[in-house]
Amino acid sequence: MGIEEAKKIVMEHFAGAARRFGFNELYGYIYGVLFLASEPMSLGEIAETTGYSLSHVSTALKFMERIGLVVRIKKPGDKKAYYRATKLLRDWRQAAYYGKIMEDIQQTRANLERALRELEGEEGEEAESIRESITFAMGRNALAERILKFLIEHEDEEVLERLLNCLESDEKR
């Protein structure tokens, strides 16, 4: 029973992650099944394993392929499409939530800029206080955008190595 329970735990984890990031839990179950699979799986195998219908799984796989969570594979002499999960942390992060975070950062910047424009010509203590708050938020937002771009543009190993170097140099101080 240990193997099946371990599989269930992993699948539930990815289903929960999908829900937390605003996706249908089916995406998480599919990702979990493919993450654990030693070989690429067909649509039918995925549907059977997850317990979802072929049409639901097919629709989910199309979306997941489009955002980079799964890769479709054709085997020579076989008309079926097979799928495998992308297992690189970078691919998962980008597909699952980096895009949404970047959208939020860009929307935040646009709204803060719009709010600043509304304050043009306004004077007084309240207007200055609001300007300061917006300027502070814009600085933090720009920093978040730089960090996210770095995470998106660099390989996991480089990100981890630089982070470790920062932590180690901080410990030496």
Claim to verify: residue 97 and residue 168 sit in the same structural domain: yes
CB 54 within 8 A of CB 39: no
Q: Which domain holds residue 7?
A: 2-85
Mean pLDDT across the stretch 16-31?
A: 89
Token couple for 146? 């730089």
pLDDT at 48: 95
Q: Alpha-carbon distance 78 to 122, whole Å?
A: 69
Claim to verify: residue 53 and residue 114 sit in the same structural domain: no
What does 17-33 look like in DSSP terms, one character per residue? HHHHTTS-HHHHHHHHH
pLDDT at 133: 95
> Does the pTM exceed 0.75?
no
Q: Alpha-carbon distance 68 to 64, whole Å?
A: 6
pLDDT at 106: 93
Domain count, the chain: 2
Claim to verify: residue 100 and residue 161 sit in the same structural domain: yes
Claim to verify: residue 75 and residue 115 sit in the same structural domain: no
Report residue 1's pLDDT band, with 50, 70 and 90 as the boundaries: low
Claim to verify: residue 56 and residue 127 sit in the same structural domain: no
CB 112 within 8 A of CB 138: yes
pLDDT at 89: 56
Question: Is the model more confident about 102 or about 33?
Answer: 33
Last residue of a domain, one of 28, 55, 85: 85
pLDDT of 96 strictly over 70: no
Question: What tens digit of pLDDT does each residue of 29-54 get?
Answer: 999 999 999 999 999 999 999 999 99
Question: What tens digit of pLDDT does each residue of 52-87 get?
Answer: 999 999 999 999 888 778 999 998 888 899 999 986
What is the phi/psi pair of residue 87, to 5°?
-110, 0
Mean pLDDT of the chain: 88
Claim to verify: residue 15 and residue 66 sit in the same structural domain: yes
Claim to verify: residue 81 and residue 100 sit in the same structural domain: no
pLDDT at 66: 84
Last residue of a domain, one of 85, 109, 129: 85
Claim to verify: residue 128 and residue 80 sit in the same structural domain: no
Last residue of a domain, one of 50, 67, 85: 85
Report residue 153's pLDDT band, with 50, 70 and 90 as the boundaries: confident
Mean pLDDT across the stretch 109-114?
A: 94
